[in-house]
């Protein structure tokens, strides 16, 4: 078994066709077929169900696919790290984060990081914490910011560093406020106001709705299914209020932040990586930048607490 065979196998699994996979790999179709036949012979199992116009994975193929992807990702990491040491190029960082962090912490991090290291290639994967952990374990990411209070890191080969704890706050329009003269609001009072609810893909939506259900309450939903950028804008123009993490409110003059009481909701953010693979120089620099920026955000916003001591 070699990496070229695994590359051929994963490409066929992705496109579902030998001829198209061969074109993607710049190989002839017979050459790719021989590679896969040799791989199947070495492993003692067929990897594909072959039917005219329909290539699907066998049980053995399903088991091999995540392992093959991880091995290919590890090979690429080795090449990049050696290239860094040889001075051939400055490297690459693949960072994952939930949408709620992409508009706050991640935006701050990437701006500072790119200014300091303009030669490093940046890749961002925006998804929920569970999906990000799967990508990290599969070798598709170097680092992932995750909501550890919602998704504990159970994989043995992954490690998570506690980063910050933040309150969930209520945001209102600064110019067309619905909550006037109050610095806090309870969930029962909030349930009577027009509220904007996030898409079901957001962990934030689940935690918010769980809080309502625990008190036999329901929000007065004026709009649901929105993404973070849209929610912030809808609140700014006065469509309704929303519950968001405290990091989102930093440097947004169009929004007013009101503390949520009874209950007080919080979430914990962690920085996860694979413990069985050393971070490249570029990824290690990114991790340091994330830690520094998280600490600075905590200093600016009293409803954010840094979980890492910084000099």
pLDDT higher than threshold 80 for residue 11:
yes
Q: Look up the pTM and report it.
A: 0.69
Q: Residue 52, SS3?
A: coil
Alpha helices per DSSP H over the chain: 3-15, 18-25, 29-43, 59-86, 99-102, 105-116, 129-137, 187-190, 203-214, 228-236, 281-300
When computed from its CA atoms, the radius of gyration of the chain, rounded to whole angstroms, is 23
Written as six digits, the tokens of 88 are 């051939």
pLDDT digits (tens, 9 = 90+) for 169-223: 999 999 999 999 898 999 999 999 999 999 888 888 888 999 999 999 999 999 9
Predicted confidence (pLDDT) at residue 296 exceeds the cutoff of 70: yes
Pair of tokens at residue 40: 């199947």
Can you tell me the distance from the alpha carbon of 164 to that of 291, in angstroms, rounded to the nearest whole number? Answer: 9
Q: Where in the chain is the domain with CATH 1.10.10.10?
A: 3-72
For the chain, where do the domains classified as CATH 3.40.190.10 start and end?
83-165+268-306
Measured between alpha carbons, how far is 193 from 205 in angstroms, rounded to an integer?
17
Nearest to 39 by CA among 77, 8, 12: 8
Task: List, as own/partner pairs, every contact residues 291-298 make where C-beta atoms lie below 8 angstroms and the sequence separation is at least 24, other chains included.
Answer: 291/163, 293/105, 293/108, 293/109, 293/112, 294/105, 294/163, 294/164, 294/269, 296/108, 297/104, 297/105, 297/108, 297/164, 297/247, 297/250, 298/164
Domain with CATH 3.40.190.290 in the chain: 166-266
Q: How would you classify the pairing of strands 266-274 and 92-97?
A: unpaired
Number of other residues whose CB lies within 10 A of the CB of residue 121: 13
- Does domain 3-72 bear CATH number 1.10.287.610? no
- The pLDDT assigned to 88 comes to 37
What is the structure's pLDDT at 90? 65
- 3-class DSSP assignment, residue 266: strand
Q: Identify the pLDDT of residue 220.
A: 95
Could you tell me if 95 and 124 are in contact, meaning their C-beta atoms sit under 8 angstroms apart?
A: yes
Neighbours of 157 (CB within 10 A): 12
Per-residue pLDDT tens digits for 41-69 = 989 999 998 877 678 999 999 999 999 99
Which position has the higher pLDDT, 85 or 119?
Answer: 119
**Percentage of residues in the chain having pLDDT higher than 70:** 96
Residue closest to 264 by CA, chosen among 167, 183, 172: 167
At residue 152, the pLDDT reads 76
Give, for 143, the enclosing helix (H) or strand (E): strand 143-147
CATH class of 83-165+268-306: alpha beta
pLDDT of residue 175: 93
Query: What tokens does 219 get?
Result: 């929000």
Burial zone of 24 (CB within 10 Å; 0-12 exposed, 13-18 middle, 19+ buried)? middle
Is the separation of the CB atoms in 29 and 18 below 8 Å?
yes
- Residue of 124 and 252 predicted with greater confidence: 124
CA 168: distance to chain centroid?
19
80-94 residue pLDDT tens: 776 665 543 567 899
Average pLDDT score, the chain: 88
The CATH architecture of the domain made up of 166-266 is: 3-Layer(aba) Sandwich (3.40)
Backbone torsions φ then ψ of 284, nearest 5 degrees: -65, -40
């Amino acid at each position: 078994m070699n990496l070229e065979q695994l590359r051929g196998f994963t490409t066929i699994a992705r496109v579902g066709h030998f001829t198209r996979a061969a074109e993607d790999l710049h190989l002839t179709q017979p050459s790719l077929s021989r590679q896969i036949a040799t791989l199947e012979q070495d492993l003692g199992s067929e990897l594909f169900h072959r039917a005219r116009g329909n290539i699907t994975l066998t049980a053995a193929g399903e088991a091999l696919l995540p392992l093959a992807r991880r091995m290919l990702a590890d090979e690429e990491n080795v090449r990049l790290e050696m290239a860094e040491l040889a001075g051939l190029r400055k490297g690459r960082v693949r960072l994952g984060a939930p949408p709620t962090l992409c508009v706050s912490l991640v935006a701050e991090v990437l701006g500072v990081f790119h200014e300091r290291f303009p030669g490093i290639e940046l890749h961002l994967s925006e998804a929920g914490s569970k999906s990000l952990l799967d990508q990290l374990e599969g070798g598709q990411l170097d680092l992932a910011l995750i909501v550890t209070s919602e998704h504990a890191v159970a994989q043995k080969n992954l490690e998570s560093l506690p980063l910050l704890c933040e309150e969930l706050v209520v945001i209102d329009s600064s110019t067309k406020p619905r909550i006037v003269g109050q610095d806090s609001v309870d969930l029962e009072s909030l349930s009577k106001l027009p509220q904007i609810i996030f898409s079901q893909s957001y962990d934030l939506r689940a935690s918010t709705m769980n809080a309502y259900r625990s008190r036999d309450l329901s929000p007065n939903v004026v709009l649901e299914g929105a993404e973070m950028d849209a929610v912030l804008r809808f609140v700014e123009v006065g469509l309704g209020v929303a519950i968001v993490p405290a990091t989102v409110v930093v440097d947004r003059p169009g929004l007013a932040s009101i503390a949520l009481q009874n209950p007080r909701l919080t979430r914990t953010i962690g920085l996860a990586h694979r413990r069985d693979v050393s971070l490249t120089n570029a990824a290690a620099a990114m991790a340091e930048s994330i830690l520094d920026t998280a600490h600075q955000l905590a200093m600016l916003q009293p409803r954010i607490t840094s979980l890492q001591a910084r000099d």
